Amino acid sequence: MTDAPHDLAARHDGLRPLGVKGGGPARSGRGSAGLRRSNTRLAPALGDTARALFDALVVVALSLTALACSRSDCNGTEIERNGKCETLCVDSECEQGERCVENQCSPECERDAECPNDGECRSVNADYGGRGKFCIFERPQTDGGPQPPARTDCTSSDECSAQNSQRCIDGRCVVTCLLHDHCGSIGSCTGEATDAEGNDVAFCEADGFERGPGQYGWSCVDGNDDCDDEADFHCLTAGEGDLDAYCVKFGCDDDVDCPAGYFCNADTFASLRPCETACGLPADPTNPNCIPAEDIGNGAAFRCVDQGLQLRSCRRREYCNECETDADCRGKPNQVCARDESGSKVCTVLCDPLANSCPWGAASTCAVHDTRLGQATCGHRSGSCRGTGASCDPCTDDADCPYGFCTASSFTGERFCLDLRDSCSCADGTDSCVGGGCPTTASGLEMNCVPLTSNGPPEACYAGAPASGDDGSNISCWPAQR
């Protein structure tokens, strides 16, 4: 068996929590000796100094609220930055060799000497995607009033800039979108309307969340260096060079605390200890990874749960996450919000019943689950993306697994519960076995008995045993579909 997560009692996706000092993300090994959490991890957070700076910024921001314009004061060709309305930078309106970076036209460069007006040559993300080296200039101070838009009125979309798919909606040129990422610092892809030509389109709307460099939705290929640590943003990444890595924020209480397309994710860490006694856990102040008291509790990054400390963070909704509208699922390409067999609305994708093209491999099936939509979509074979928390029940995060936690197959991404109420054992001298006293899965597969920690004995029931002749890489709670 090759797909078991490494070190179940610890955080087996390599995630290092808030308060950890140090360089890169924790790296865990692979193999059958232990369980590995999943194939995503957060780059390390920076600790007390960043949090103190963030607290100070919050106080300053509140004191300036009365002086700054609100997001609702900005029209469709403006964005809000630092409490002020600015004309939206559009690549097509920049000079040749320039792109929009931090909402201003910035020339490409290789060194500081190539940047006029004492600019600094930096490696950064451009506002509309892609990374390169651009001149960054100190932004001039303004009086905080709205800046004149490039164009506000229109009668047809031909009068609007073709860059970023601007369309004429209700007499205004606005940026349309398919994904939240298409909106950059404007906000999120939540508006829906009919353009001047009669086409149904989605468009970008300001949403009140932090959308500047290093904040929500910002790419972080280089890890935490790309995220705004002063505002408590950290990089969610599958590893070095992950082009899909993005900045997230800790400390949400519920989905409403997150932007459209995100949900409040819960990750439980059974091996973490507080610096001071909390959650019924003993203090471990000498541990460099202990969690400070101010980072535990409602409104903080960590919560107390029966299994230990639980980290909350805003993450993009993916397959099987709950939703209300398509806008909830626009964090990833090609997703729609549709009902599954149970009647629950979840993020999913359209599919071909004749092709095996669904996420989560053998755990999903393609059929017309949502009769109102009338198109085939992917759904979980159990009929629902959530169970009761039993071993191998489907889940999307640890909140769905009250007796353990939610783990995943690194091969297919299938997510399922590991129920710590189940126990098992194997013959002496073996690091894992099939069965061992484990229950069978809902689909009738025998489960694997594996260690909770990399050096521990087999004692946890994990996923279904691979079929005969399978090398174990495609492990699942469901048998292959024929």
Could you report the per-residue pLDDT of 379-422, keeping only the tens digit for each? 999 999 999 999 999 999 888 999 988 998 878 889 999 999 99
Q: Which amino acid is at 184?
A: G
Structure tokens at 332: 């990833």
Q: How far is CA 86 from the centre of its chain?
A: 28
Q: Which two tokens stand for residue 99?
A: 């792109």
CA dihedral over 293, 299, 302, 306, signed as positive or negative:
positive
Q: 241 and 129, same structural domain? A: no
pLDDT band at 14 (very low <50, low <70, confident <90, very high): very low
Q: Is residue 167 part of a domain?
A: yes
Which are the contacts of 220, defined by CB distance < 8 A and separation ≥ 6? Answer: 43, 214, 226, 227, 235, 236, 237, 245, 246, 247
Three-state DSSP class for residue 326: helix
For residues 449 and 433, the answer to whether their CB atoms sit within 8 Å is yes
Q: Are residues 190 and 82 in the same domain?
A: yes
- State pLDDT tens for residues 278-336: 888 888 888 888 889 888 888 788 888 877 888 888 999 999 999 999 999 999 889 99
Could you give the CA distance from residue 76 to residue 164 in angstroms, rounded to a whole number?
13
Is the same domain home to 195 and 113?
A: yes
Domains in the chain, number? 2
Q: Has residue 330 been placed in a domain?
A: no
Residue 246 lies in a domain: yes
Considering the domain architecture, whether residues 163 and 254 belong to the same structural domain is answered as no
Task: Examine the domain organization and report whether 100 and 193 are in the same domain.
Answer: yes
Q: Is residue 104 part of a domain?
A: yes
Asked whether residue 233 falls in the same domain as residue 297, the answer is yes
Distance CA 97, CA 110 (A): 13
Q: Which of 251, 285, 316 is the last residue of a domain?
A: 316
Return the pLDDT at 473: 56
Q: Residue 444 carries which DSSP code?
A: S
Which amino acid belongs to residue 237? T
Query: Domain of 224?
Result: 212-316
Where among 298, 316, 334 does a domain terminate?
A: 316
- The single-letter code of the amino acid at 389 is G
If asked whether residues 171 and 230 sit together in one domain, one would say: no
Q: What is the pLDDT of residue 49?
A: 28
Q: Which DSSP symbol is given to 56?
A: H
Phi and psi at 402, nearest 5°, equal -65, -15
Same domain flag for 83 and 152: yes
